[in-house]
Homo-oligomer: A and B are copies of this chain.
Amino acid sequence: MSDSIAELTTRIRSFVDAREWQQFHNPKDMAVAIAAEAGELLQHFVWQQPDQVEKRTDERRDEIASEIADVGILLFEMADLLGMNLGEVMERKIARNEERYPADKARGNNLKYNEL
């Protein structure tokens, strides 16, 4: 079992290459596929009220894990396709979020950084 983004990405790239799917996997179609899979993930929670969310998550645990995996696989591949190091772009964004949302101002509220 791998914890390495690079290793998982290599495995995804091999999967795609072995099927000659690079021809379909341009950046636009990757973004389309990610949005469609994010929509499938969202589907599990449509109309669910706050007090139903935990039960729903338990009952559909495998399907939800499967949708999360789908989004992850496509996202790792898209970053790779664009020559981006996903860990690096995520770290840079986390650092930016730390600046935009100082803990003492952002604590306990859900305001956007430009409303703090």
Instruction: Contact check, B88 vs A1: say whether CB atoms are below 8 A apart.
Output: yes
Instruction: Contact check, A84 vs B110: say whether CB atoms are below 8 A apart.
Output: no
Q: Within 8 Å CB of A78, what residues of B?
A: 68
Instruction: Contact check, A34 vs B26: say whether CB atoms are below 8 A apart.
Output: no
Q: Within 8 Å CB of A2, what residues of B?
A: 87, 91
Which secondary structure characterizes the binding site on chain A? Answer: helix
**Chain A residues touching B, range:** 35 or more
Q: In whole angstroms, what is the CA distance A69 to B87 when docked?
A: 8
Q: Within 8 Å CB of A72, what residues of B?
A: 75, 79, 86, 89-90
What are 9 A-B contacts defined by CB distance under 8 Å? A20-B107, A21-B110, A39-B39, A39-B42, A64-B82, A66-B93, A68-B79, A69-B90, A69-B93
Chain A positions within 8 Å of B, measured between CB atoms, are 1-6, 8, 11-12, 15, 18-21, 23-24, 26-29, 31-50, 52-54, 56-57, 61, 64-66, 68-73, 75-76, 78-79, 82, 84-94, 97-98, 101, 103, 106-108, 110
